[in-house]
Amino acid sequence: MGQIINGKEIAANIKEEIKSFVENRAENNKRIPKIASILVGNDGGSIYYMNNQEKVATSLGLLFKKVILEDSIKEDNLIDEIHKLNNDMNVDGIILQLPLPKHIDEKKVVAEISPEKDIDCLTVESQGKLYMGEAGFLPCTPNSVLTLLKSLKMSLEGKEVVVLGRSNIVGKPAAQLLLNENSTVTICHSRTVNLKEVCKRADILVVAIGKPKFVDETFIKDGAIVIDVGTSSVEGKITGDVDFDKVINKASFVTPVPGGVGALTTTLLIKNACEALKNNEN
């Protein structure tokens, strides 16, 4: 029977590092990291994420500013708000809650975020650094995948990795992060031929397709490591893309949902804000 990779436990360790960093700054009368989160409208999911980000950030001693705007706001006015935060030397990280209202050009607005404060890795410059292998903020969900794998204290070099899903938010950047670790990476998607056969080659299978319990034991080889990024609501319960009960007996390690990738994401976002502060001081 496989083992569970405990995202909550890993997140708790990182939180202690962040808390210690902030406390040390406070003791030495240095500026505390500050995050500004922008919400346009009243999307329920975005409100949940913003409140959760605030809860985690403030519990670790960071400052958190909410910028809540009407969904009728004009695009230029939203850009003005972003520019104010870009120019505020006390703000280290900017989060823009997505999606934006339909009358706003999301790509245009995201491009206005200062790359030095883009802790959610949304801008083209931040993503370009990722794909060029240059130092910069790492996107939090893909970085959660990598952090969970690294917690196993094994080399990723040469490992055959299959990433199921090609989204710009998870699939592609997760594949790139693993490629940067010298893994051999295959990306699968809805047009992939012989999908099960490709997945069964994987030493590590990363699943991010948004289809609850799509992957069962027939997709994986004995002893594979399975990272489930999926979060769908099924009968009021958060459910992953992997049928955990069927896969746990065949895999060597599996992440649960909840308690796996998602448990780490917000913590890594807060860590990026601390890194932004350090970068600004150097």
Binding residues: 165-167, 231
Q: What are phi and psi of 31, to 5 degrees?
A: -65, 140
Binding residues for NADP(+): 165-167, 231
